[in-house]
Amino acid sequence: MTKKSVALVFSLGVLTALVIVFVISRSLPESSKELDGNANSSITLTDMEEQNLLSVAVKRVDGGFVLELDEDGNWVLSGAPFSLNPDEVKRVTRTLASIKSGEIVSEELGESRLSEFGLDRPEARIFVADKDGNSEVVEVGNVSPLGKRRYARREGSHNLVFLPSAVTEIAFMNGDDFRDRSLPAPNLDEIERLEFRRNGKVFQMVPSTEPDPYVNSAGDYVITKPWQGKYYLDEGSFRIRIREEAPLPTTVVAYLDNENPGDAEFELTDEKADMLYLSDRDGTVLHLILGASDGEGNRYARMGDGDESLFKLRESELGFLDTEPFSLVSKLVFLASIERVARVKIEAGEDAWTLTRIGRNESEEVKDDLFLIDNMEITFEEFSSLFQNLMGISREGQVQQKRIRLEPEITISVTNSKPDVDPLLIRYWNYDEVYYQVGMDAGQPEFLVGRYQIQRLINRLMALPRV
């Protein structure tokens, strides 16, 4: 083929394309070709004072909604058995009270041409009424073949316009779209009780109501599960975890009102199902029973207060249940204050040391008391240094395997300065070459302490002169 032939074929192709575009353009309704003179103009479709609204509604063959003010001035959704999202209601009523159109397509729409734009039988009608008896109706037609915008007009008007996208969205909403999907939100600064169960393992914390006889200022919360002993919450770690790393769920993904939560497929009836319970001092409670995954990144759930509504929560918002309980424990083993301790006895095999504080006068400062190691007087600074070394011993992990225990290798007993307070007993058993397993009072060993920590204390004691 010669160059002239190629050029001729190309020219014919371009001409054919232009003809096709011209034919399609001529076949479209004239309204599709926006009027240049009205490209940036708009008209008012509804004009009601928001504070004077009485009702707004959308009616369609396949659904819609009716919002009305009740006698108390609250918006109610006709036929809704659920609470409404006030923010969504406010957005919709405010938008529909005053609708400004998009671009004007035609100012001379005749009745005979309504069918071209789907306005002979509108796909949706928007009704707005106020307390003075005024009402306005906007009709919503087809989608424009030149875009995703819909045609619309004020009922009876000859002005054909494009409907703003925000109003188009509302025109195809249903009553369920107004449902309040928010979960109860207890105040995290005023927690009354927090408990969660994950794979059968339970963690629980409650406010510390009784003063600790050995500690001047203990934590605000005590961990009561999964351990037997008394463990204070590490409030710094807790705040980071629950506020930043794994915030609690706040919103329902979807309600499944027609499903039975008792069906086995949802796994919500097992007494050992995952669970989250949080309440604050004002009585707000979030109690969730969590079931199986839906395979799409959500978990089935129900409220634990007897409400049988089934719903879904995002699995990504349930990370707090994966919290390792030990990570929330205040790690210091021994929290006593010098002024609340009369004697500390440390026994390691055949060696034993007794640190004694004798108060000279309650009105005097602690540093003026008499301090002894065994029967030898030492200075406040020496006693304090040993005491701080003892207080610095911290938990390093949980006991993972039960080991055969004989007699404890180390025993530390603490006597309170008040005679009516029971002594505190801390026992250290062999666990392995790195750790001791530790039990508080008469409890079983529940956590681990590095041997080096205890050896450091023993070395300090061994270095002291003996009587």
Q: What is the H or E stretch that residue 24 is in?
A: helix 3-27
User: Does residue 200 register a pLDDT over 70?
Assistant: yes
Q: What is the H or E stretch that residue 386 is in?
A: helix 380-391
Same domain, 71 and 99: yes
User: Does residue 352 register a pLDDT over 60?
Assistant: yes
Q: In what order do the strands lie in the sheet with 397-398?
A: 376-378, 370-373, 351-358, 341-348, 410-416, 424-430, 435-440, 447-450, 397-398
* Predicted local confidence at residue 464, as pLDDT: 80
Same domain, 73 and 164: yes
* Predicted local confidence at residue 28, as pLDDT: 43
Q: Compute how many other C-beta atoms are within 10 angstroms of the C-beta atom of residue 391.
A: 15
DSSP reduced 3-state for 378: strand
Q: What is the pLDDT of residues 102-121, one digit of tens each?
A: 999 999 999 999 999 999 99
Band of pLDDT at residue 18, cut at 50, 70 and 90: very low
SS (H, E, C) 89-149: HHHHHHHHHEEECCCEEECCCCHHHHHHHCCCCCCEEEEEEECCCCEEEEEEEEECCCCCC
* Predicted local confidence at residue 466, as pLDDT: 67
Mean pLDDT of 350-362: 88
Say if 128 falls within a structural domain.
yes
Same domain, 213 and 315: yes
Domain boundary among 285, 300, 328: 328
Same domain, 362 and 296: no
Task: Note whether 172 and 180 are within 8 A (CB).
Answer: no
Q: How many domains does the chain have?
A: 3
Domain boundary among 121, 145, 178: 178
Enumerate the β-bridge partners of residue 293.
299
* Predicted local confidence at residue 233, as pLDDT: 94
Same domain, 216 and 173: no
User: Does residue 366 register a pLDDT over 90?
Assistant: no
Which pair of tokens denotes residue 90? 């406010």
Say if 437 falls within a structural domain.
yes
Q: What is the pLDDT of residues 288-346, one digit of tens each?
A: 999 999 999 999 999 997 767 899 999 999 999 999 999 999 999 988 889 899 999 99
* Predicted local confidence at residue 230, as pLDDT: 80
Band of pLDDT at residue 22, cut at 50, 70 and 90: very low
State the Cα–Cα distance between residues 276 and 434, nearest whole angstrom: 36
* Predicted local confidence at residue 9, as pLDDT: 41
Say if 223 falls within a structural domain.
yes
Same domain, 75 and 168: yes
Position with higher pLDDT, 210 vs 290: 290
State the Cα–Cα distance between residues 383 and 227, nearest whole angstrom: 32
ω before 226 within 30° of 0 (cis)?
yes
What is the reported pTM? 0.79
* Predicted local confidence at residue 31, as pLDDT: 42
Same domain, 366 and 395: yes
Task: Note whether 185 and 280 are within 8 A (CB).
Answer: no
Say if 333 falls within a structural domain.
no
Residue 116, domain extent = 30-178
Same domain, 358 and 322: no
Band of pLDDT at residue 15, cut at 50, 70 and 90: very low
Band of pLDDT at residue 96, cut at 50, 70 and 90: very high
* Predicted local confidence at residue 4, as pLDDT: 43
Q: What is the pLDDT of residues 227-272, one digit of tens each?
A: 887 889 999 999 999 999 999 999 999 999 989 998 999 999 888 8
Which of 20-24, 132-136, 360-364 has the weakest average pLDDT? 20-24
Which pair of tokens denotes residue 112? 């005979």
State the Cα–Cα distance between residues 154 and 167, nearest whole angstrom: 13
Four-residue CA torsion sign, 460, 461, 462, 463: positive
State the Cα–Cα distance between residues 340 and 294, nearest whole angstrom: 56
User: Does residue 17 register a pLDDT over 60?
Assistant: no
State the Cα–Cα distance between residues 227 and 241, nearest whole angstrom: 20
Average pLDDT, the chain: 89
Four-residue CA torsion sign, 6, 7, 13, 16: negative
Q: What is the pLDDT of residues 65-78, one digit of tens each?
A: 999 999 999 999 98
Same domain, 197 and 133: no
User: Does residue 25 register a pLDDT over 60?
Assistant: no
Q: What is the pLDDT of residues 368-394, one digit of tens each?
A: 899 999 989 999 999 999 999 999 999
Say if 215 falls within a structural domain.
yes
Say if 82 falls within a structural domain.
yes
* Predicted local confidence at residue 41, as pLDDT: 85
Same domain, 279 and 349: no
* Predicted local confidence at residue 456, as pLDDT: 93
Band of pLDDT at residue 467, cut at 50, 70 and 90: low
State the Cα–Cα distance between residues 379 and 368, nearest whole angstrom: 9
Domain boundary among 328, 348, 365: 328
Same domain, 34 and 163: yes
Same domain, 384 and 279: no
* Predicted local confidence at residue 86, as pLDDT: 95
Say if 109 falls within a structural domain.
yes
Torsion angle, CA of 408/410/413/414, rounded to 10 degrees? Answer: -140
